[in-house]
Each structure stands twice: as C-alpha cells, then as structure tokens.
Structure 1
C-alpha cells in the first residue's frame, strides 16, 4: 500500500505539475500583497522550486520560501537568491562533475571537473563555522554509513538562516537498492528523527520535506540551542 501511495509520477505528469506551479506562483506575486513587487523569480523542475533574484533581507527570503513551499506539488525549495546585494555562498558536497548550479563551490573526495577542493565527507569539513549560506547533499547521504556526522558538520558551517538541501533515493524505489554503494535507506520520516534527536545534538527546523515516489527531499535550517522548535501543526504537514 505504501509503495502504491508513493508511486513515481510519469514525466508527462511532472511537466504538467511544473506548469501548474509556475501559474500558481505568478498568481501569488500578482495577488498577495506580501509578494507584490518581489524581485524573486521561481522556476519549477519536477516539483523542485528554483528561486533566483534578490531580496532586501533574510526575512523577505524566508517569506518567499514559506509561501512557495505551501503550493501543492512542491517537493523542495532551492534558492540562490541574493540577500541585500550579497551573493550566497553555496556548497555542493560530493558533487563530482554534476553541480546543482554552475556557481556552486564543489567539495568531493576525488578531483574532477567542477570540483574546487578535496574533502572526505565522512570527517570534518575544511570550512569555518557560520561561513556558508546553502549546502547541497544530493545523492550523498545514502552512501555514508554514519551520515549524521556530515549532517552535524553542515549544521556547524551554515550561517543562521542557512539551508541544507537533501535529496536521496526513497527506500521504496528500486533505485535505493539497485546501487550496491548505497549503504543507507531514507524516508521522509528519517528527517523527522534528524530534527528530534537527543538533547545536546545539533537541532534542525524542517522548512520542507517531500517524496515523489523515487526520491525524498528535505530543506532544513539550523537552530541554536535556545531557539524554539517547530510546533506540532508544522510537523504534521510533513511527518506521521
């Protein structure tokens, strides 16, 4: 029954959903006073919202992200939006030759075209704390036996308001088990437990999570020890 509920949509349906989402965002910009005049553009690709443009401050970006994430059919909200004229520092971990965006800084175990520096993702990242705005871990966590070590390192290096983007094969799809280098299986519920670990562990706030029947997605922002966590209504949007 679960596999049926999460059956991966066809390419034709995904294109139709992207068209709907583009129209829905244009409607938001035209009719929602909070977004009227925004300089943020949204492109949708297989349910992932790609935000570009510029905002005055982090609060404006958080508002745009939140409203886009509420659109039915959005799986994740990826952003390279400039804040107050500053380009975001975006890291692509384990990118190989396939960065998510050309301007990202690539970190990988092996040098390849597009890799800017070598690093073993199973250990400490060669990055200063509070130095990065966005981190992509696309098809990475499933390759790490202890991926929480990497997640904790992402928490350390992200600036306040920064975002960790995760994309991994969903455990119920053949892609999750077809690759023998996959050593972990992930579900949307995995992110619930990442956001509710033992006291003293780095804390995350789930901005958005989703599953398209083939992959799971999560947009997570770091919380300080004294910041309030998500309320039950917010968690109920994503988790059992």
Structure 2
C-alpha cells in the first residue's frame, strides 16, 4: 500500500535516477539478443520511459515495453513507435497548448494553439472505432466527476494492442487538492478497480504498468477483447494491493 508519508523525489534525485535507468537499459540491450537490431530509442525523463522509433511487428514493441517496465524506478512507459512501416496514430486528450509529442492529434474542449479538434471529453470522442494506437490522458481524469465514460470511449477507439497512458495527481499530495477544478482523487488502486472490479459487460483493460512517484500516479492500460483472459495475479501483484 502507498504510504501517506511518501515524498516525491527531488529534481536532483530524479536526474540521477534517469541516468541510472539509462545505464541499466543500455546494459540490457547489450546482453539481450532479442533487443539487438531493434530501432527503438528509450529516453528517461523523471522516471518515465519515452519510447520512439520503429519495429517490424507488434510483438517487438510489446517486448521492449515489458522489459523497460521491469526496470526498478520506472513509473510509466510512454510510447510513440511505428510498427511495420506505419506511423502510429497518437491522440492527446485535453492537451491544451502542450502535446506530449508535436505530431500528436490534440483534442480539447477549448480552442488553443496545438488543439486540432474541439471536443467535450465528457461525451463521445470524435474518433472512429479501432482507429488510434496511443491515447494520452495527462492531468485529465481528475477534472471529470465521472471519468468512466471517457475510459470506455478510449477502449472503443483504441486498436487491439493500443495503449492508454494516464497521469494524474496522487490523492496524498497537495497538488491533488490545490487546484479547485480537480473533482476526483486518484490512486494507483483506482486502476485496479478499472481493470478488475467493473460489472460484467463493461470494457475490460489489461494493466501494462502502473506507478506513483509521490506526487503523480501513472497507468498504462491496453484494451482486452471480451473473451480474453484477465491479467494473472502474478502480474497484478507488481502494481496493486
């Protein structure tokens, strides 16, 4: 269980953690034959791994994601990697003027530089079924009284193997309550509920990664088809109580 006294790492410590993670990943690549020849760049920023580049098939991307996520100190694994020569379709939800990558499609309720389409995220997303490879919901869910309809919409628009990246303030940090527009408190365990505790017939998710740095929570989720097996307990135990 996350302790109430958890303190976010300082900027200096995060910088050193990023350096340590970069060294650990370089060692992994040197000693793992499966990674040789893969054109994927992995950059670490405040404990979040940013993947870019291209792979030949989805299994290669899943391998890199899984191995990066196993490194101690990684809070999230964010990805913009092409597969089989196709550029990924990446959408920033509620992006405002800042996108996670400049080439992403930006959706927001208010027009602003960087917003490609105006959309109310509490309603239906103006995106076709199975049309998106990656969705970013960075500092969005805490602003919605009921965020489950948006999570369900994300499930609808993601392609098989697509990923929803979430970042929100952790409920135990002052940032969670300092902004009066925050209407929901979030924890890593919230995503256990999204993945395991929703009623039958609702969209199902598999948690690729989840973490908390003492200020923010991170979750990387991929949609499950209705007949897919749930995540095994050994996998869930990495992230959830």
- Normalised by the length of structure 1, the TM-score is 0.98
Structure-1 residue corresponding to 2:235: 234
| Residue 83 (1) aligns with residue 83 (2) | yes
1:135 equivalent in alignment to 2:132: no
Secondary structure in structure 2 of the residue aligned to 1:181: coil
| Secondary structure in structure 1 of the residue aligned to 2:171 | coil
Residue 54 of structure 1 corresponds to: 54
> Displacement, 1:38?
1.6
Residue 199, structure 1, aligned to residue 214, structure 2: no
Structure 1 residues 150-229: aligned runs within 5 Å: 150-196=150-196, 197-229=198-230
Partner residue, 1:26: 26
Q: Distance in 2 between matches of 1:130 and 1:36?
A: 31
**Hey, what does 2:149 align to over in structure 1?**
149
Distance in 1, matches of 2:38 and 2:95, equals 31
1:35 corresponds to which residue? 35
Q: Deviations over 1:88-119 (max 9, x none)?
A: 00000000001111111000001100000000
Alpha carbons 1:29, 1:37 under 8 Å: kept: no
Q: Which runs of 4+ in 1 moved over 2 A?
A: none
Q: Which runs of no fewer than 5 residues in structure 2 stay unpaired?
A: none
Quick one: distance in 1 between partners of 2:96 and 2:53? 27
Tell me which residue corresponds to 2:72.
72
TM-score scaled by length of structure 2: 0.98
Partner Cα distance (2:199, 2:115) in 1: 35
Q: Give the Å deviation of 1:3.
A: 2.0
Give the deviation of 1:34 after TM superposition. Answer: 1.2
Q: For 2:237, what is the secondary structure of its paired residue?
A: helix
Aligned to 2:105: 105
* Contact kept in structure 2, 1:14 and 1:46, CA below 8 Å: yes
Q: How many residues align?
A: 239
Q: How far, CA to CA, are the matches of 1:141 and 1:34 in structure 2?
A: 37
